[in-house]
Amino acid sequence: MNAVWFEPFSNSSQDKFLDPIILGEYPAEMHEILGQDLPEFSRHDVEKLKTGLDFIGVNHYTSAFVKDCIFSACEPGRGSSRTEGFALTSPQMNGISIGQPTSLDWLYVHPQGMEKMVTYIKHRYNNIPMFVTENGLGTREYSNPATEEIINDVERVEYLRGYLDSLAEAISKQLNRKLHRDHPFWLLQFCMYRKGADVRGYFVWSLLDNFEWTDGLSIRFGLHHVDYATLDRTPRLSAFWYKNFIALHADRAGIRRPRNGQE
């Protein structure tokens, strides 16, 4: 599920898919807009839906503002769907961006969106298990970049740090945490007593630079740089940071790490 968080409220496209799958019904807003044009569930579909989902996979990269277009005037964009005319989305409001701009015109750094998205899913769908299946920062590579520019991806490190911290807030939101985050036993306490969103895993997009469906090889998301001419792979600063982040937090939480490939 690709999920963009919208401020100040969630005009949430994922409800179009998750509500029928989990709740067995389309959102009320879709009934109001599309009426009888909505497809009906067959008896077979209803029976299949009773088994529910094992988990929800969430792909989340950025956030945007949304404006109502029913009771206020606006130009709703390209008209790519019948529902688009009811809301206008934009990364800016009154000339202020929702977050730090990046080299990609659609990606603004807004870590708070991660916490709000996960918390929203938790409350709407009875805290069904979640995996963050994609989250990361893409950068547009221009011709002949310097080696230092390729490897020292400080911007990606800060992005991951912010979004992981926001995710931790969603997971541990109901805790009365008295220990400072830098306390050596903070994460252990957090893992043992968490009562927030049931997030089972987090996956960075991506381990390596790769072919992006809409942008080809012009955008790079990898923790490792790939030279497409030679296929040489070079770890970026973010790869070392993420490795250390995982190792540090695994030790604090008492998670055993593999030794000589035997565990």
Q: On the CB side of 258, how many CA atoms lie within 13 Å of its CA?
A: 4
What value does the mean pLDDT take over residues 213-239?
Answer: 95
pLDDT digits (tens, 9 = 90+) for 15-74: 667 888 888 888 887 888 778 888 888 888 878 887 778 999 999 999 998 877 777 777
Name, of 50-54, 175-179, 186-190, 244-248, the range with top average pLDDT. 244-248
Domains of the chain: which residue ranges? 5-253
- Measured CA to CA, the distance from residue 6 to residue 64 in angstroms comes to 5
Share of the chain above pLDDT 90, in %: 46
For 133-166, letters b (16+ CB in 10 Å) and e give bbbbbbbebeeeeeeeebbebebbbbbbebbbeb
Per the annotation, the verdict on 263 as an active-site residue is no
Of 186 and 94, the one with more pLDDT: 94
- Cβ atoms 45, 119 nearer than 8 A: no
pLDDT in tens, 117-146: 999 999 999 999 999 999 999 999 877 788
pLDDT at 195: 58
Q: 179 falls in which pLDDT band (50, 70, 90)?
A: very low
CATH of 5-253, one of 3.30.1490.100, 1.20.1290.10, 3.30.70.270, 3.20.20.80: 3.20.20.80
d(CA 62, CA 3): 8
Q: How confident is the model at residue 253 (pLDDT cuts 50, 70, 90)?
A: low
The residue from 29, 84, 115, 134 that is catalytic is: 134
